[in-house]
Amino acid sequence: MKSFNFPVFKTKIEGEKRVFNLEDPVGRREYFTAKATPEIEKIKEYLERGSFLAFLLGPKNSGKGTYSKLFAEAVGSDRIKHISVGDVVRSVHKSFSDEAKKKELIEYLEKNYRGFLPIEKAIEVFLGRDTSNLLPTEFILALLKREIDLAGKKAVFVDGFPRSLDQISYSLFFRELMGYQDNPDIFIFIDVPETIIDERMKTRVICPKCQTPRNPKLLKTKEVGFDKEKNVFYLMCDNPACDNARMGPKEGDELGIEAVRNRIEIDKKVMTTLLELQGVPKIYLRNDVPVSEASEYLDEYEITPAYRYEFDEKTGTVNTFTEPWVINDEEGVPSHSLLPAAIVLSLIKQFSKILG
C-alpha cells in the first residue's frame, strides 16, 4: 500500500540563517523559539484553562511516542501526558503480581468496567489464562480511563487506540467516555513511507544490558568502535551503567518491515477509514520530502543525517561523516526523511490553529 502523500509542510523561514542542533535539547528549544514562539505561547495559554484528547494514528515505528514527547518538551510537560496502550497493558500486567496494586486495580475495574464478558473472565483473558475468549475493547477502555484519571485532566496524547476497525466507533465517543466533553478531540495522522520504516528496522541495534535502541546509520551513540577481525563498525551504549556495552542487532530485525506486516496493514486501514471522518479536527504529519523539493521547504539541518565511518589506522580512532539521508519512497522517488523536531514544528503550528 502506498503512503498517503499528505502535503509537505514548510518549516523553512526566509531570512533565518541560524543552524540549530536538533539532536540536543538546548538546540531544539532555540529552534522552536525561533520558528514557533507565537504558536507555542498560544498553546500554553490554552492549556492554562483547557485540555484535549489527541489520537496518534500511524504505522508501527512511525515515531508517535517521540513526537508527543517533543511536543511536551516545547510547550511544557506539566500539562501534557502521553499514554501508550501498550505501556498501560504491560504496567497493569505487572500490577497483578503485587497484591496491594491488584486489589486497587480490581476495585477500580468493578466500578468502571462495563462489558458483556464478566469482569473475572475479562481479567483471565487479559492475563492470558483464558484463550477461548477475545479481550473486550471495553476492558481496554476501562484501563485507559484509569490512566487518564491518574493524569488529572492533563492534555492527553493517546498512542495505540483505535488499533482495529471495530474500535473506531469507540474512538468517536472517546471524549465523552473519558469525561472530556468540553475539550476538543483531535486525530493526528502520521505518514511514513514503508521504505523508511524498513530501513530503520533493518539497521537498528540494541544494548544487550539496558535494551536501549539506536541505529549506526541514523541515530548513533557518542562512542563508535571498530572490530578489525570482522571489519565492522559498532556502537557502544551511552548509558554509564552499561560500561560501553557493544550494541548489536535484535533477532528478527533483519526481516525489516515484513516482521510487522500484519500490524502495518491494520494500522493503514484504520487511518484510511478515519481520514473520511467528519466533524473532528485533523492534523497531518509527513515524514518525507522529495529531494527535488527539499530546499524549498526545509533547512538542511532539519533532514535526517546518514552516518558513515572510517577507521584511522594511525590514531586507532573512528572518524564519523554525515550527509543527508536519501531513500526512495514506495513510488521510487528519491526522498529525505525529516528529523523529529521538524515534524513536531508542523504539529505545533497545526495544533495552534485548531485550538485558536
Query: What's the pLDDT tens digit per position in 216-258?
Result: 999 899 999 999 999 999 999 999 999 999 999 988 889 999 9
* Structural domain total, the chain: 1
Comparison of pLDDT for 32 and 181, the residue scoring more: 32
List the grid coordinates of 179: 469525561
The single residue listed with the C-alpha cell 508542523 is 346
- Distance between CA atoms of residues 205 and 208, nearest Å: 9
- Distance between CA atoms of residues 277 and 111, nearest Å: 32
| pLDDT of the residue at 185 | 94
| DSSP tag of 302 | G
Cβ atoms 159, 148 nearer than 8 A: no
The sign one gets for the Cα dihedral 336, 339, 345, 350 is: positive
pLDDT confidence tier of residue 161, bands split at 50, 70 and 90: very high
The answer as to whether 318 is a domain residue is no
Residue 333: is its pLDDT beyond 90? yes
**175-211 pLDDT tens trace:** 998 888 889 999 999 999 999 999 999 999 999 999 8
| Poorest-pLDDT segment among 27-31, 34-38, 74-78, 341-345 | 74-78
Range of the domain at 85: 25-193+258-295+339-355
What is the phi-psi region of residue 116: left when phi exceeds 0, alpha when psi lies from -120 to 50, beta otherwise? alpha
- Distance between CA atoms of residues 215 and 196, nearest Å: 13
Cα distances from 76 to residues 40, 72, 149, 218, 277, in angstroms, run 9, 5, 20, 28, 30
Q: What is the mean pLDDT of residues 132-141?
A: 89
- Distance between CA atoms of residues 197 and 215, nearest Å: 12
- DSSP codes of every residue in 84-152: EHHHHHHHHHHHTTSHHHHHHHHHHHHHH---SS-HHHHHHHHTTS--SSPPPHHHHHHHHHHHHHHHT
CATH number at residue 274: 3.40.50
Question: Which helix (H) or strand (E) is 352 found in, with range?
Answer: helix 340-355
Amino acid identity of 272?
T
| pLDDT of the residue at 2 | 57
CB atoms within 10 A of CB 20: 21
| pLDDT of the residue at 153 | 80
| pLDDT of the residue at 262 | 92
- Distance between CA atoms of residues 165 and 295, nearest Å: 39
